[in-house]
Amino acid sequence: METIEADIVIIGGGPAGCTCALYTSRADLKTVILDKNPSVGALAVTHQIANYPGVDSEMSGDALLTLMRDQAVRYGADYRRAQVFGVDLAGDLKTVYTPEGTFKAKALVLATGAMGRPASFKGEADYLGRGVSYCATCDGAFYRGREVAVVGVNKEAVEEAQVLTKFASKVHWITSNDPKQEDFHAQELIRRDNVKHWSKTRLMLINGNDSGVTGITVKPRSKDEEETLALEGVFVYMSGSKPITDFLGDQIALKEDGGVVVDDFMSTTSEGVWAIGDIRNTPFKQAVVAASDGCIAAMAIDRYLNSRKSIRVDWVHQ
């Protein structure tokens, strides 16, 4: 698999990550942004962003994010869609693992936001990594010819279920609310031969044994009885509001509320690693705050990589 080296790898392509990339690219630092899905972050799902300075009050969060991403790419940032599932923070070069390849960088920036959630279905935590997964692109191939379930109705659930249809013999799509009729991708998914849509159905329990998931128990709203399905994989895509730090293990300090601990320069407790935006679990989760964090980290990284004593401001052009 490909190994790519850069000065900076930024995990997360929201306003925090894209702003950081804009500044580091302009400082001539080789910058890679790894983003699992440009449609699922907090700004991407914001219907209308009326309070970001200087933009039209009718603009959607998605449109603003596209502008930010395009601007960073225009200055040289290498934006890639990839879900990070692990990092190694030891040593001078930080290593980032994705299904698409391994990335190594002198500076690592964590900008995955706070749209995560704690495991909340019965059995979810018990079988995490043993049949329960949050990444079809990472784990889908393990389920070739087997039955799996996808839980959730958001855009990410639809895209990940599409990936799974290439491998699994059957994909059970469990949605507590039905997807909209005008959602073309969801309707196309439902029509696929190896998809069974469990409409208005709740996941009650993930069943398993020592070797992992063996099935799930569901409760359709239209029936009095629960039903048990035999399958081997459960892919969960529910929204939440918890900092996304699961890929870090216990390699950096977190606050009690789950946010990453940083100093005034957005440096974490691990040298060469910064954290910006909602992943810090700031009390003021706003796009402009996330963008500001990205700028601060970028300038601190420029100083760190070039062993400068002082921060060099972006507007001093020689």
Ligand X SMILES: Cc1cc2nc3c(=O)[nH]c(=O)nc-3n(C[C@H](O)[C@H](O)[C@H](O)COP(=O)(O)OP(=O)(O)OC[C@H]3O[C@@H](n4cnc5c(N)ncnc54)[C@H](O)[C@@H]3O)c2cc1C
* Sequence-ordered list of residues with C-beta below 8 angstroms from that of 90, at least 6 positions apart, any chain: none
Binding-site member from 108, 157, 163, 244 for ligand X (CB under 6 A): 244
CB of 117 to ligand X, least distance (A): 12
CB of 169 to ligand X, least distance (A): 28
Q: Is 129 left (phi over 0), alpha (psi -120 to 50) or beta?
A: left
Asked if residue 137 binds ligand X (CB under 6 A), the reply is no
CB atoms within 10 A of CB 251: 17
- Cα-Cα-Cα-Cα torsion 78, 42, 164, 195, nearest 10 degrees, comes to -150
Instruction: Find the part of the chain contacting ligand X (CB under 6 A) among 14-22, 123-131, 205-213, 218-226.
Output: 14-22
Asked if residue 84 binds ligand X (CB under 6 A), the reply is yes
Please say which residue, 91 or 283, places its beta carbon nearer to ligand X. Answer: 283
Instruction: Find the part of the chain contacting ligand X (CB under 6 A) among 36-44, 137-145, 195-203, 256-264.
Output: 36-44
Asked if residue 290 binds ligand X (CB under 6 A), the reply is yes
Q: Is 283 left (phi over 0), alpha (psi -120 to 50) or beta?
A: alpha
Asked if residue 115 binds ligand X (CB under 6 A), the reply is yes
Binding-site member from 6, 9, 10, 16 for ligand X (CB under 6 A): 16
Q: How far is CA 88 from CA 139, 252, 254, 270, in A?
A: 20, 11, 17, 11
Please say which residue, 38 or 212, places its beta carbon nearer to ligand X. Answer: 38
Binding-site member from 31, 83, 137, 201 for ligand X (CB under 6 A): 83
Residue reference for tokens 């029936």: 223
Taking the C-alpha atoms of residue 163 and residue 52, their distance in angstroms, rounded to an integer, is 35
Taking the C-alpha atoms of residue 104 and residue 97, their distance in angstroms, rounded to an integer, is 9
CB of 269 to ligand X, least distance (A): 19
Binding site for ligand X (CB under 6 A): 11-17, 34-38, 40-43, 45-46, 49, 51-52, 83-84, 111-113, 115, 244, 247, 277-279, 285-288, 290
